[in-house]
Amino acid sequence: MDKVFIKPPVEIRCADELRLLRENDTGKKPENWFLSPKAVRTFILGGKIKTADGTVIIPRKFYGNDALVERCIITLAGNRGLMLVGEPGTAKTMLSELLSAACCGISTNTVQGTAGTTEDMIKYSWNYALLLAKGPCREALVPSPLLIGMEKGIFARFEEITRTPAEIQDSLISVMSDQILNIPELEDDGLILARPGFNIIGTANTRDKGVNEMSGALKRRFNFETVEPVKDVRLEKEIIIREANDLARSGHIDMPVNTDAAEILAVTYHELREGIDSDGIVVDKPSAVMSTAEAVSVFYQTLSHAWYYGNGTVDMKIMTQNLIGAVCKENKDDLEKLRGYFRTSVKNKSEKAGGLWKDYYATAKLLK
Amino acid sequence: MIPFDLKSPLVLYPVRHHSPVCSYHLIKTIEEYKPDIILIEGPENANHLIPSLVHEETQLPAAIYYYYKDKKKLVSDNADDYKCYYPFQYSSPEYNALVQAQKLGIEARFIDLPYCEILIHTTDGAGMRKSADKHSYTDDSMLVQSRFYEKLCEKSEVRNFEEFWEKYFETDGLYISTSEFVSLMNTYCMLVRHSTSEKILEADGTLSRENHMAYNIIEAMKSYNKVLAVTGGFHTSGLYRLIQSGKVKPIKIHKITNDNHGCYPMAYSYRAVDSLRGYSSGMMYPGFYDNAMKYMLSSENPVGVYNSGTLNLLTETAKKSAKKDIPISIADMTAAYSMMHGLAALRNTKECGMNELIDAVTSCFIKGEKTVSSSLPVDILRQLASGNAVGKIGDKQYIPPLITDFEKQCSKLKIKYTSSVPETIDVSLFTSSRGREVSKFLHRMKFLGTGFSKIVKGPDIYNNQDMSRVREEWKYQRNPEVDSSLIDHTTDGFTIEEACTNYAGKILDRYRKCSAAASVAVDCFQMGIKLGSAEQKLLDEIITADGDFFSVGNGMRNFETLFRLQNLYNFQDDSTLRYLIRCFDRLVSALPLMANAPSEKADEIINIMRSMYSIATKILPEKTEYLESALTSIAGAEEKEPAVFGAAMGILYAIDSKNSADAENAARGYLAGTVAIRKKGADYLRGLFTTSRDIVFTDSSFLEMTDQLIISMDYDDFLEILPSMRLAFSSFTPNELRIVAKTASKLHNVNENDIFMKPAVNEKLFLFGENFDRMICESLNMEGLLNE
C-alpha cells in the first residue's frame, strides 16, 4: 500500500506539472535552475503549455498580485535574497515553497526561525560521536540547510526570520555578501563557495515587527516584497472553497461544499479585516488575525463537524461557534467587535439578502 | 479592414491621444504621404487658435479651454454652464500633426462638432455630460471600457490596459513599420468598437460627431487631392464606414451668441493633464512620455528610447530619495536596473517601460514592509514621471476676458502683476479707499482659488479673532497656474467681480448648509460683493431648511459679526439682519431639544446659547422672551445635560435676577445626591459660571456650595471633577478670582494670600523644568531642528 502523508511538499504534490513544464521548457534558465523564469511564472500563476500530447492547463496556485510573483522570480535569479513580509495567513510560506520547488525542484531545504534558533542551525553543527572519533572532518560535519543550498546551488528557505535573535540573523550577512562560508575547523577544506543557483528566501510576519528588527546591513542584502491579503471577496470565496475541498478530500470527507456558506464566511473575514462593510458602514477590526487561511480553517472545521456529527450539511450555528473560536482567541474585546458586526452588517444583509444570511444572523445569540 | 494606402486621396490615421508612438508613425506618414491638408479631431470652433498653439514661443503643455453657457436650454432644462479642456503635449499626435502642417505650409483644421453641439447631442450622464469636476476632450475611456479588452489582458498576461498598451503599442510599436503599426491600431480599435453597443455610441454623441467629421472630410476631398484625417482610433472605423456609404448629411448647427460659447488657448501643466486622466482616460505619466517624444524627434533611431528614459528616471528617483533621507546605494540601483531588464525579458517586452521601472523601485528601494511611509521612493518616481512643467502660450492675440480684467484691476490698484517673484503688500483697511479696494481685490482672487494672493495677517472675521487689527498683510505672486485658474472661471463671468458673484451662488447651491452659507457671506463681505436677489433667496432657504443646530449656530455667529462690522467697513447690506433673525428663530425653536445633548457637545451648545443671549440683549431685544421661554423648557426637562442646564440657569438669572433662587436650588439638588450626582454638580457649576459668573458675587451661597462639593469628594473623585472645576473658574477675571479666594479663605479661616498667592508649582521643580527646556532647545538648535 502506498504511503499516505498529511501534507506532501509541493514538488511531490505537483510532480506531474513540474515534469511537464521542465520537459516543454524552452525559456532561458539561470544556471542550476530547475525551470526557466517563464515556466516558474506559469507554474505559480497558471497558464497553458503545449506538450506532445496537446495543450495542458497548469492551474493557478497563488492568488493576488501577479507582478509581485514576477518580481520575486527575477530577484531570485539575481544576487539578492528575497524577503517576503506580510500579515499572518497571506500565503508567504506557500509562495516561498512554490518558488523553491519550481526554481530548484525542492522546497524542503528550510530553516525554521524561532526564539531558540542558534548560529549552528544556520551554518553547521557536528556529529559529536564522529567528531570525537575522527576529529573535525567533512564526515563529522552536519550541514545546515544554508550550507546545503550553497553546495548544491539551490535555495535555502528561512521561515519567520524575525523570530530569530538579531545577532543570529546577522550571521547570514557574510554568506550573502561574499557567497562564502568559512569552516575554520576544517582548515584548508573549510572554505565553502556557493554554487550558482544558491539564494535565500526569507519570510517575516509584520506582527513580529520590532521583536527582532533586522539590521540595516542585512536588509540591504534582500529585496523586500509585501504580500497583502486578498482584496477581492469573490476570489477569497473561491480560495476558501478550493482549499476546503482539498482538505476535505485528503481527510476523506465526501460531502459537497456549501458555496453560500463559504461566501458568507469570505464576506465576514473580508469586512472584519478591512474595517468596512459592503454598505460603507465602519466595522471595528478585531485584533485577531483575519486571514484567508484562518477562514479556510474555520470552514474546514465546520465541514468536519457536519460530516462526523451532523447530517452532512453545513450548520450555521457550528460555523459561528468556530468563528468565535478563531476570532476571540487573544483579546476579549474581539467578541464585542464580532457582536457589533453581527448587530449591524449581518443584520442588514439578513434583511436585504435573506436566505442563509438570515440563518447566520439567527446565530448571533451564541456571541456571549 | 480599413486601407492604409498612401497613394489614395484619403488616408485615415488612427491615434491614441498623447501617445508618442502614434506621433512617431504619424510624422513618418506625413513625410511620406505629403498631404495637401490635415484634418484633425477637435471641436472646429477652435480653428482660429491653431496659430497660437504652434507659435514658436508657445511651450507645452497647453490646452484649449472650451465653455458653453446653456442659457437657451438646448442641452437641458437646468440652463447649466459647461466647460472642457483639450490638452496638448509634445507627445500628442494632434499637436505633431499641426506642427508638421505648419512646416509643410499646408492647412490644418479641426473637424469635430463645436463643443456646444457635442453637448447638445450627448445624453445626460454620458460622454462629456458625465458627472465630473473636469472634462477632457481627449478622454479615450472608450478604448478600455469593453469586455474585449479585459479578455485581451487576461490572454496576454498583463494586469491592465495601460500595461497592455505600453507593451504591445508604445514599445513594440517602435520596432515595426508604419503600415504594420496602423494595421495593429485599426484592428484593436475595430474590435473594441465592435463590442460597444450603438446605444452607447448614440448616447455619448459619438455617432453625431462622426457624422460631422465624415461630412467635413468629404467636403475637404472636394477641394484637396490628398487629405490626411487624424482621429482617435475608436472613430476611424466609424468614419471609414460612413464615408464609404456616401450617406452623410450635414448636422444642423444651432445659432448661439458669442458671449455664451467660446474657447481660449491656455497654459497647462503636466499635473493638470494627469489629473484629467481619471479612470483609464488618457496616457499616464505625461512628463515621461513627453521626454520620450523629444528623444524620438532628436534621434535618427527611436530604438532604446524607453530603456534610456527609464534609466534616467531611476537615477533621478534615487537622487531625490536620498534628499528625503532615504539613501539609495549603487548596489540598490544596480539591483533595480537588473530587475527592470529581468522583468522586461520575463514579460517579453522589447524595452523596459514604466511598469517595469515601478516594479523595480518597489522591490529594490523599499526596505521592509510596504507602507504609506516606506513607499516614498515609488511616490517620488510617480511624481517625476508625471512631470511638473507648466506651459506657456506665446501668442497673446486671444487673451481670455478674465485675464484682461485681472490685469486691468492690477494696473488700477498698482499691484505688480507682471513679475513672477513673490511680492508682499501691507493694506490699511480703514484709512484710505485704495487700501480697502486692494483688500477687496485680493480677497476676490483668493475666493476664486487662483493661488495669486495669500493673506498673512489681518482680522479673522470667520472666527471672530484678531478683530482689533486695522491692516492686512498679503503675499501675492503671478504664475501660469493663476492664469489657468482664472480661465477656469470663464463660465462664471467675464469680470473678476461677476465671476465672484456667480461662483458664490454656485457654492451656496453646492453645500446647502447654514455654516457654509455664512462663510460665503463673510467672503462676500470681505470682497465687497452683494449677493443677487436669487442668491439671497437661496440663502434664506438654506437657513430655513438646515436642521443642524450647530451649523445654524455657527452661521448665526458669523452673521452677528457681519452685522456689527457693517458701519466700520462701510458695507451696508440689509439682508444680514434678516439672516440673523432667521438663524435666531431656528435656534430658539430647537434649543429645548438640546437639554439632554451628549456631554461632548455641551461646550458648543453653551457657546451658541451665550451668542443668542448677546444678540437678544444687544440687537434683537424683542426676541428675549422667546429665548427665556426656550431656556425655561431646558430647565424643566426631565433629562438634562448638567453643563447645558447650568448655562441655561445662568442666562435665566442674567435675564431676570429673580431666577437666582432656582439656580441655587438646582445646585443644592446636585449636592444632596450620590457621588455620581455630585460629580455632575461640577459640570452644572461650569455651565452656570460660563454664562453668569456674577451670580457668585451677589450671593455667597454659590461659593459655599462649591466648597461643600469639593470637601465632600475623596481624592480620586476630586481629580475626576477637577477639569470641570478649572473650566468653571476660567471665565473669571484675575480680580474676580482674588475676590473668590478671599471668600474661600474666610470659609476655612486662613489668609487669602495663602490660597490665591500660593505658588502653583514648586520653585525647584519649576527651575528644573526651565533648565531642562533650555537644554532641549539648545540641543535641537545644534541639530538645526529648531526654526526660531
Three-state SS sequence of A254-306 = CCCCCHHHHHHHHHHHHHHHHCECCCCCECCCCCCCCCHHHHHHHHHHHHHHH
The answer to whether the CB atoms of B369 and A226 lie below 8 A apart is yes
The answer to whether the CB atoms of A37 and B364 lie below 8 A apart is no
**Beta strand B227-232 with B37-43: parallel, antiparallel or unpaired?**
parallel
pLDDT at A176 over 90: no
The number of residues in chain B equals 788
Is some CB atom of chain A closer than 8 A to the CB atom of B158?
no
User: Is residue A57 within 8 Å of A45, Cβ to Cβ?
Assistant: no
> Predicted confidence band at B62 (pLDDT cuts at 50, 70, 90)?
confident
Chain B hits for A73, CB-CB cut-off 8 Å, are 346
Is some CB atom of chain A closer than 8 A to the CB atom of B595?
no
Phi, psi of B451 (to 5 degrees): 80, 5
Most confidently modeled range among A67-71, A232-236, B197-201, B507-511 = A67-71
Residue of B337, B349, B362, B369 to mutate, testing the A interface (most A Cβ within 10 Å of its Cβ): B369
Query: Could you say which DSSP state residue A214 is in?
Result: P
For chain A, give every domain's residue range: 64-226, 233-367
Chain A hits for B370, CB-CB cut-off 8 Å, are 224, 226
The answer to whether the CB atoms of A71 and B332 lie below 8 A apart is no
* A64-226 has CATH 1.10.40.50 classification: no
Is some CB atom of chain A closer than 8 A to the CB atom of B153?
no
How many contacts, defined by CB atoms under 8 Å, are there between A and B?
67
> Predicted confidence band at A130 (pLDDT cuts at 50, 70, 90)?
very high
The alpha-carbon gap from A70 to the nearest alpha carbon of chain B, in Å, equals 7
Q: Which pLDDT score is estimated for B147?
A: 66
pLDDT in tens, A52-71: 888 889 988 888 788 899 99
3-state secondary structure labels for all residues of B192-205: HHHCCCHHHHHHCC
Is some CB atom of chain A closer than 8 A to the CB atom of B329?
yes
The alpha-carbon gap from B130 to the nearest alpha carbon of chain A, in Å, equals 24
In the predicted model, what is the mean pLDDT of chain B? 85
Q: Which pLDDT score is estimated for B135?
A: 61
CA A34 to chain centre: 21
Chain A hits for B367, CB-CB cut-off 8 Å, are 216, 219-220, 224
- The answer for residues whose C-beta is within 8 angstroms of residue B232's C-beta and 6 or more apart is B14, B15, B16, B17, B41, B140
CA B66 to chain centre: 21
Chain B hits for A79, CB-CB cut-off 8 Å, are 335
Q: Which pLDDT score is estimated for B477?
A: 87
Residue of A35, A71, A79 to mutate, testing the B interface (most B Cβ within 10 Å of its Cβ): A71
Chain B hits for A71, CB-CB cut-off 8 Å, are 339, 343, 359-360, 362-363
Range scoring the smallest mean pLDDT among B133-137, B463-467, B613-617, B631-635? B133-137
pLDDT at A360 over 70: yes
Q: Which pLDDT score is estimated for B779?
A: 85
pLDDT in tens, B672-729: 777 778 788 888 888 988 888 888 787 777 888 888 888 888 888 888 888 888 888 8
The alpha-carbon gap from A308 to the nearest alpha carbon of chain B, in Å, equals 42
The alpha-carbon gap from B371 to the nearest alpha carbon of chain A, in Å, equals 9
Is some CB atom of chain A closer than 8 A to the CB atom of B97?
no
The alpha-carbon gap from A3 to the nearest alpha carbon of chain B, in Å, equals 39
Q: Which three cell numbers stand for residue B632?
A: 425655561
Q: Which pLDDT score is estimated for B500?
A: 92
Rounded Cα distance, B377 and B371, in Å:
11
Q: Centre a 10 Å sphere on the Cβ of residue B602 and count the other Cβ atoms it contains.
A: 22
pLDDT in tens, B386-425: 888 878 888 777 888 888 899 889 988 888 887 667 889 9
Rounded Cα distance, A35 and A32, in Å:
9
- Percent of chain B at pLDDT above 70? 95
What is the mean pLDDT of the segment spanning B20-34? 92
What do you get for the CA distance between the two ends of chain A, in Å? Answer: 49
The alpha-carbon gap from A195 to the nearest alpha carbon of chain B, in Å, equals 20
Q: Which pLDDT score is estimated for B554?
A: 92
What is the mean pLDDT of the segment spanning B86-105? 91
Q: Which pLDDT score is estimated for B95?
A: 93
Residue of B346, B348, B354 to mutate, testing the A interface (most A Cβ within 10 Å of its Cβ): B346
pLDDT at B528 over 80: yes
Chain B hits for A66, CB-CB cut-off 8 Å, are 157, 159
Q: Which pLDDT score is estimated for A2?
A: 61
> Predicted confidence band at B787 (pLDDT cuts at 50, 70, 90)?
low
Rounded Cα distance, B473 and B456, in Å:
5
Range scoring the smallest mean pLDDT among A38-42, B65-69, B310-314, B612-616? B65-69
Q: Which pLDDT score is estimated for B281?
A: 46
What is the mean pLDDT of the segment spanning A327-342? 82
Q: Which pLDDT score is estimated for A126?
A: 92
What is the mean pLDDT of the segment spanning B576-601? 89
Is some CB atom of chain A closer than 8 A to the CB atom of B157?
yes
pLDDT at B218 over 60: yes
Please name the member of A37, A206, A220 whose beta carbon is closest to the beta carbon of B346. Answer: A37
Q: Which pLDDT score is estimated for A202?
A: 92
Chain B hits for A223, CB-CB cut-off 8 Å, are 335, 339, 363-364
Q: Which pLDDT score is estimated for B278?
A: 42
The answer to whether the CB atoms of A219 and B367 lie below 8 A apart is yes
- Percent of chain B at pLDDT above 90? 21
Please name the member of A70, A214, A226 whose beta carbon is closest to the beta carbon of B346. Answer: A70
What is the mean pLDDT of the segment spanning A17-36? 90
Phi, psi of A329 (to 5 degrees): -95, -45
The answer to whether the CB atoms of B363 and A41 lie below 8 A apart is no
User: Which strand (E) or helix (H) includes residue B644?
Assistant: helix B642-655
Residue of B nearest to A29 (CA): B346
Is some CB atom of chain A closer than 8 A to the CB atom of B98?
no
User: Is residue A273 within 8 Å of A285, Cβ to Cβ?
Assistant: yes
The answer to whether the CB atoms of B338 and A86 lie below 8 A apart is no
Q: Which pLDDT score is estimated for B569?
A: 83
Would the pTM of this model clear 0.90, i.e. be above it? no
The answer to whether the CB atoms of A66 and B342 lie below 8 A apart is no
What is the mean pLDDT of the segment spanning B188-199? 81
pLDDT at A201 over 90: yes
pLDDT in tens, B255-310: 888 778 888 888 887 877 775 444 334 678 888 999 899 888 888 788 888 998 99
pLDDT at B29 over 90: yes
Residue of B nearest to A41 (CA): B346
In the predicted model, what is the mean pLDDT of chain A? 87
The answer to whether the CB atoms of B343 and A71 lie below 8 A apart is yes
User: Is residue B236 within 8 Å of B186, Cβ to Cβ?
Assistant: yes
Chain A residues with CB within 8 Å of chain B CB: 28, 37-38, 41, 45, 47, 66-67, 70-71, 73-75, 77-80, 85-86, 206, 209, 214, 216, 219-220, 223-226
- Percent of chain A at pLDDT above 90? 24
Bridge partner residues of A157 (DSSP): A110, A201
What is the mean pLDDT of the segment spanning A339-350? 87
pLDDT in tens, B478-487: 877 788 788 8
pLDDT in tens, A214-271: 888 888 889 999 988 887 788 888 888 888 888 887 777 888 778 888 888 889 998 8
What is the mean pLDDT of the segment spanning A145-154? 91
| Residue-by-residue DSSP string for B723-740 | HHHHHHHHTS-HHHHHHH
The answer to whether the CB atoms of B367 and A77 lie below 8 A apart is no
Amino acid at A140: A
DSSP E strand boundaries for chain A: 47-51, 54-58, 81-86, 110-112, 124-126, 141-143, 155-159, 180-182, 191-193, 199-205, 222-227
Q: Which is nearest to B267 in space by CA: B483, B46, B491?
A: B483
> Predicted confidence band at A148 (pLDDT cuts at 50, 70, 90)?
very high
Most confidently modeled range among A125-139, A282-296, B80-94, B258-272 = A125-139
